[in-house]
């Protein structure tokens, strides 16, 4: 362990046995053997090449939202991204390092009168996480504003055009075929600053009071595509049909699971698609709720619900 510790120090600040609960919005997760903080993209590439060449297990961590670590931790290297380059270029393009908070890109777009990211105001997490999971809200998603992605994979740095990223609802090629996102190129359109700000304020108002303040990982399950709905679509609220999605929060209400608790975990009272850590929740507490909820919804509606949150069992 001491040998690899000394080798890792050449790439960034290293901590031993770092509790992952400190670095996730769920506040759940055991210790990582090695925790390396990286602030520059070239250092990230060098570290990935080193770990890949040595056969060392690693996991890349951004903002820590939308994930659930296990309580035993990680036997390997967790790379904490603190890359921070954010650059406005010509043709209304913003180029951003993977470790930059999505909220900072939203602010940069507003400052320069660029429209397309208003929906993302208030969304936590980094650019890399938003791209990988095709984060979205208010009927919009990250894929709408991506031009291309710079990626490390198998020792090489390449570019993928938007069409090559295979974006779909909360999915991308990066989930299925691996690789580490280095930078994202956001293609926006000119707009009126006041109109952009007004739209952002409207979205924030819609969010106000709807979501829990206790530690959570964001929306836990993917909403159901209307085409996968097993019942009579005409019996659903018209808004669901219009948006082609059945919200998980509504399904949770139909099976009376709001407020359901196991150990230190609970389905939020504010929104049925959020599971919160009320104090000392374990991964198993969360997973017990997940299984119970999946069974209840399947038994009543005949549909399988799928986690949006990444459940990590190393």
What residues are annotated to the active site? Answer: 170, 219, 308
Q: Whose CA is closest to 30, among 100, 78, 98, 62? A: 78
The angle formed by the CA atoms of residues 42, 48 and 50, to the nearest 5 degrees, is 105
Residue-by-residue DSSP string for 55-67: T--EEEESS--SE
The values of phi and psi at residue 309, to 5°, are -70, 140
Rounded Cα–Cα distance for residues 181 and 78 (Å): 15
Give the helix, strand, coil percentages of the chain, each rounded to 5. Answer: 35, 30, 35
CA 127-159-13 angle, 5° bins:
50
Residue 35 to residues 65, 119, 201, Cα–Cα distance (Å): 17, 33, 37
Count the helices and strands in the chain (H runs, E runs): 9, 20
Q: Are 215 and 266 in contact (CB under 8 A)?
A: no
Helix (H) or strand (E) holding 156: strand 156-161
């Amino acid at each position: 362990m001491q040998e690899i510790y000394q080798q890792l120090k050449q790439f960034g600040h290293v901590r031993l046995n770092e509790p992952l609960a400190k670095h996730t919005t769920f506040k759940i997760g055991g210790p990582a053997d090695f925790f390396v903080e990286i602030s520059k993209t070239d250092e990230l590439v060098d570290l990935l090449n080193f770990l890949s060449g040595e056969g060392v297990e690693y996991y890349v961590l951004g903002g820590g939202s939308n994930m659930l670590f296990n309580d035993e931790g990680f036997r390997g290297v967790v790379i904490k991204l603190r890359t921070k380059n954010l650059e406005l270029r010509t043709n209304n393009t913003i180029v951003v390092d993977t470790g930059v908070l999505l909220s900072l890109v939203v602010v940069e777009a507003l400052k320069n009168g660029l429209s397309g990211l208003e929906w993302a105001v208030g969304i936590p997490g980094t650019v890399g996480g938003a791209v990988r999971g095709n984060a979205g809200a208010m009927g919009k998603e990250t894929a709408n504003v991506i031009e291309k992605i710079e990626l490390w994979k198998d020792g090489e740095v390449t570019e993928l055009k938007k069409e090559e990223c295979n974006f779909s609802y909360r999915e991308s090629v990066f989930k299925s075929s691996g690789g580490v996102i280095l930078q994202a190129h956001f293609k926006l359109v000119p707009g009126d600053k006041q109109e952009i700000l007004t739209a952002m304020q409207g979205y924030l108002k819609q969010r106000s009071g709807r979501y829990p303040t206790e530690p959570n990982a964001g929306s836990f399950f993917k909403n159901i595509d209307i085409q996968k709905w097993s019942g009579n679509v005409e019996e659903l609220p018209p808004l669901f049909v219009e948006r082609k999605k059945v919200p998980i929060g509504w399904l949770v209400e139909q099976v009376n699971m709001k407020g359901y608790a196991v150990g230190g975990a609970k389905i939020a009272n504010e929104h049925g698609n959020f599971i919160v850590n009320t104090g000392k929740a374990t991964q198993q507490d969360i997973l017990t709720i997940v299984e119970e909820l999946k069974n209840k919804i399947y038994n009543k509606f005949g549909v399988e619900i799928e986690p949006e949150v990444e459940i990590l069992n190393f």
